[in-house]
Structure 1
Amino acid sequence: MSELNGQVAVVTGAARGIGEAISRRLAAMGATVVLASRDLTQLDRVKLAIQSKGGVAETAHLDLLDERSVQHLAASIKERHHRCDILVNNAGIGLSARPLHETSPAEWDMIMATNLRGPYLMVRALAPMMIAAGSGHIVNISSLAGHNPLPNGAAYAASKWGLNGLTYSLAEELRPHNIRVSVIAPGSVNTGFSVSSGKDPGRKIQPDDVAHVVAMLVTQAPQSFVSEVLLRPTQKP
């Protein structure tokens, strides 16, 4: 596939799991993929895997908690590529399941900074390049926890409800610039990251399932866009 030849895609949390699967898929479609994460060792592994399949990828250290790190990444992309066609805000965290009243302010702040402030910083840094080009795709990876109650995961759920609201509003802001903003809300995904336990991994959504949806979103016909995808496993895990 070569639908994305010449395009530059930035994927946060690309070192493993959903982010790795998305990066591999976009590279297979012809995009130059900027793999962004704090874990450079794992990023190098993903980069080599992409290159072994004939894809193009480069690694970038990114700390979503540090505004300067985000700004540095954006400046590097602008200097090196002069464009950003696709931004996938995938990086996210969750903490051990516990009631909200047992969640410390530090834990709350960490979740909000990563899951909500991080995507805001990435959009703030990279959307101007899309606006200048008059095109682009922003895909935020949320969760069904952003639609449904999540007992013992209220902080995580709040961050994803917030990410959904950010996405809906941002989509309206950027539509006049021909930039499409979408959100994917998967259920339990078979990765090392989970706010749930005791579920059958084989029945969970697989990272490649999410990557398939991203591929669909960034190759839509120009006259329309899918604003949100709720992704559920066929059989409850």
Structure 2
Amino acid sequence: MTEELKGQLAVVTGAARGIGAAISKQLASMGATVLLAARDKARLQQVQQEIQTTGGTAHIAQLDLLDESSITTLAKTVETQHRRCDILVNNAGIGLLGKPLVELSPSDWDTVMGTNLRGPYLMIRALAPLMIAAQSGHIVNISSLAGHNPLPNGAAYSASKWGLNGLTYSIAEELRPHNIRVSVVAPGSVNTGFSTSDKNADKKIQPSDVARVVAMLVTQAPQSFVSEVHLRPTQKP
């Protein structure tokens, strides 16, 4: 345990597993109080217990990014119980990979866009005012290298991540005057079970690799910030 982030509150979406769980554990190990947000309460409780076992502090908030009222409820909890939000990590995402666009239903398209793009917009809209009031804060959006490259049979996912990149860069300019830093992390293939690919899992990026990047971003010296990080495996899986 370190105390680099002592006294700070971090909200992490998709915290029940994979990258989100790794980021939550990393931030908690640095002294932050972490609000674990996801739909799966049982998995959230497991992550919370793992953090508490190592001396960290974590709370649980069930969250459905497709339900605006769920996000509003979370924001009210943060405001009334914690009165601050120092770090927001928009990590939750969905792929629905494997289908050409012409075979993807409008409802599936809406689910991907609602989770990967509208969800971060709503989270920022709900929690950034606390950062503006404090004149400080960090927002980190977890994107993908698919947000820079074509992804056949994953067009909706790719489009959502291209959109998230554009959202990140734009709001970074809006929030800079308030001393709020907004960054995006674009990893390649991560070993999370997100994809059914048979690639070598050991050669993939690990969730902890992404977590360490987030740790670096939120501890940057105050006079600078990193706009975007591309994270690739050393050896192609």
TM-score (norm 1): 0.99
Q: What secondary structure sits across from 1:197 in the alignment?
A: coil
CA distance in 1 between partners of 2:37 and 2:104 (Å): 29
Q: 1:157-176 CA distances to partner (integer Å, 9 max, x unpaired)?
A: 00000000000001000000
Q: 1:231 aligns to what?
A: 231
Q: 2:154 aligns to what?
A: 153
**Equivalent residues in 2 for 1:56-95, closer than 5 Å:** 56-95=57-96
Amino acid in structure 1 at the alignment position of 2:126: A
CA distance in 1 between partners of 2:159 and 2:74 (Å): 27
% identical aligned pairs: 75
Shift of residue 197, structure 1, vs aligned partner: 1.2
Q: What secondary structure sits across from 2:229 in the alignment?
A: strand
Amino acid in structure 2 at the alignment position of 1:94: G
Q: 1:31 aligns to what?
A: 32
CA distance in 1 between partners of 2:76 and 2:147 (Å): 32
CA distance in 2 between partners of 1:186 and 1:219 (Å): 20
Shift of residue 193, structure 1, vs aligned partner: 0.9
CA distance in 1 between partners of 2:201 and 2:173 (Å): 37
Amino acid in structure 1 at the alignment position of 2:102: H
Unaligned runs of 5+ in 2: none
Q: What secondary structure sits across from 1:165 in the alignment?
A: helix
The count of residues paired between Structure 1 and Structure 2 equals 236
Amino acid in structure 2 at the alignment position of 1:9: A
Q: 2:211 aligns to what?
A: 211
CA distance in 2 between partners of 1:209 and 1:190 (Å): 10
**Equivalent residues in 2 for 1:9-24, closer than 5 Å:** 9-24=10-25
CA distance in 2 between partners of 1:46 and 1:215 (Å): 18
Q: 1:166 aligns to what?
A: 167
Let me know the Cα RMSD of the aligned residues.
0.6
Q: 2:177 aligns to what?
A: 176
Unaligned runs of 5+ in 1: none
Shift of residue 96, structure 1, vs aligned partner: 3.4
Shift of residue 192, structure 1, vs aligned partner: 1.6
Amino acid in structure 2 at the alignment position of 1:105: P
Q: What secondary structure sits across from 1:18 in the alignment?
A: helix
Q: What secondary structure sits across from 2:184 in the alignment?
A: strand
CA distance in 2 between partners of 1:96 and 1:118 (Å): 19
TM-score (norm 2): 0.99
